[in-house]
């Protein structure tokens, strides 16, 4: 019995030595491999370990350290008839359906949108701006190449039509045959309609390019001489209008409203949102 136990113990030691030797029969070299002349590993005369089980490097590439992702085969047809329609702030891309395609990827300047439909809309874009776009298809077998890249521009934003300027004197709206306007940040008005509502007289003298505005109890004194610029006198006192001189629009003289009516004892209040000038008598 003792001989049998000794024999079994010897076999176990041999087995352990053999297994250990197969796992790593010798030191590895600088490349992480070593010679295996007896082909104990079954991999030939040279194989690698460097932290992994015994293995080969096919074409010099380690199968354990090759992290290059698998390349999906391009097997699906790319979309055709790719077109775009535009507004000032959006681009809608459409294309013909591709057989067996489940998903499409649209690209607008690199911004990708996935959809199962054959159209996609990009919103919130800049007006009058150029964009490049293309589309590709996906199926269970892979994906297609992108369609030909096209270029399209969004439309120019329409100019907002401004509301007409409304002028009131002591709460009463004044009618004009030549509408008021804003020039260099100054509200310009045909002054006659306004000051006549204030019980004043207006006189235009062509020879000297002068507007005379007087209250009815004040005698008009014409003292202006001829010049190339339009001058304004209120109660015979020249009004300084250097910030915005009067203008002649289609035969109507428009004056900056504030400095003129203030000389007549009125105040003005401009509401930008409502585009309204409220002129009221000082209390």
Rounded Cα gap, residues 33 and 75, in angstroms: 40
Side-chain-side CA neighbours of residue 14 (13 Å): 6
What is the average per-residue pLDDT within 118-126?
A: 94
Domain map (residue ranges) of the chain: 2-60, 83-153, 166-281
pLDDT of residue 68: 53
Lowest pLDDT segment from 129-133, 136-140, 249-253: 249-253
Band the pLDDT of 270: cuts 50, 70, 90. very high
Q: Which two tokens stand for residue 149?
A: 């890249």
Distances (CA, A) of 24 to 32, 46, 48, 269: 12, 12, 10, 96
CATH of domain 83-153: 2.60.40.10
What is the average per-residue pLDDT within 78-84?
A: 94
pLDDT of residue 167: 95
pLDDT of residue 74: 63
The pLDDT mean for the chain works out to 82
Rounded Cα gap, residues 268 and 147, in angstroms: 63
Q: Model-level pTM? A: 0.46
Mean pLDDT is highest, among 9-18, 147-156, 252-261, for 147-156
Q: Which two tokens stand for residue 185?
A: 């940040």
Band the pLDDT of 62: cuts 50, 70, 90. confident
What is the average per-residue pLDDT within 177-197?
A: 89
Lowest pLDDT segment from 70-84, 142-156, 162-176: 70-84
What is the average per-residue pLDDT within 251-276?
A: 90
Band the pLDDT of 97: cuts 50, 70, 90. very high
Backbone angles phi, psi at 47, to 5 degrees: -145, 175
Report pLDDT digits (tens) over 201-228. Answer: 999 888 898 999 999 888 888 888 888 8
pLDDT of residue 82: 95
pLDDT of residue 51: 64
Q: Does position 14 have pLDDT exceeding 60, yes or no?
A: no
Distances (CA, A) of 265 to 173, 215, 219, 237, 261: 19, 11, 18, 14, 7
pLDDT of residue 67: 55
What is the average per-residue pLDDT within 157-162?
A: 79
Q: Does position 6 have pLDDT exceeding 90, yes or no?
A: no
Band the pLDDT of 58: cuts 50, 70, 90. confident
């Amino acid at each position: 019995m003792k001989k049998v136990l000794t024999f079994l113990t010897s076999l176990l030691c041999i087995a352990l030595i053999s297994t250990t030797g197969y796992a790593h029969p010798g030191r590895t070299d600088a490349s992480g491999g070593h010679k295996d002349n007896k082909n104990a590993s079954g991999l030939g005369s040279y194989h690698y370990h460097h932290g992994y089980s015994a293995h080969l490097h096919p074409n010099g590439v380690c199968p354990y350290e090759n992290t290059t992702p698998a390349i999906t085969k391009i097997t699906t047809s790319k979309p055709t008839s790719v077109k775009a329609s535009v507004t000032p702030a959006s681009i809608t891309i459409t294309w013909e359906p591709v057989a067996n395609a489940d998903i499409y990827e649209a690209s607008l300047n690199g911004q990708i949108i996935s959809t199962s439909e054959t159209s996609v809309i990009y919103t919130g874009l800049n007006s009058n701006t150029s964009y490049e776009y293309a589309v590709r298809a996906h199926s269970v077998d892979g994906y297609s190449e992108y369609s030909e890249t096209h270029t399209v521009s969004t439309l120019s934003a329409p100019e907002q039509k401004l509301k007409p300027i409304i002028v009131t004197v002591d709460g009463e709206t004044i009618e004009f045959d030549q509408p008021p306007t804003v020039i260099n940040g100054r509200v310009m008005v045909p002054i006659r309609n306004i000051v006549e509502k204030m019980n004043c007289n207006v006189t235009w003298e062509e020879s000297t390019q002068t507007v005379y505005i007087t209250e009815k109890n004040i005698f008009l004194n014409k003292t202006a001489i001829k010049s190339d610029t339009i001058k304004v006198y209120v109660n015979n006192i020249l009004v300084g209008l250097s910030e915005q001189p009067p203008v002649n629009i289609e035969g109507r003289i428009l004056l900056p409203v504030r400095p003129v009516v203030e000389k007549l004892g009125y105040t003005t209040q401009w509401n930008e949102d409502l585009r309204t000038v409220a002129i009221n008598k000082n209390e």
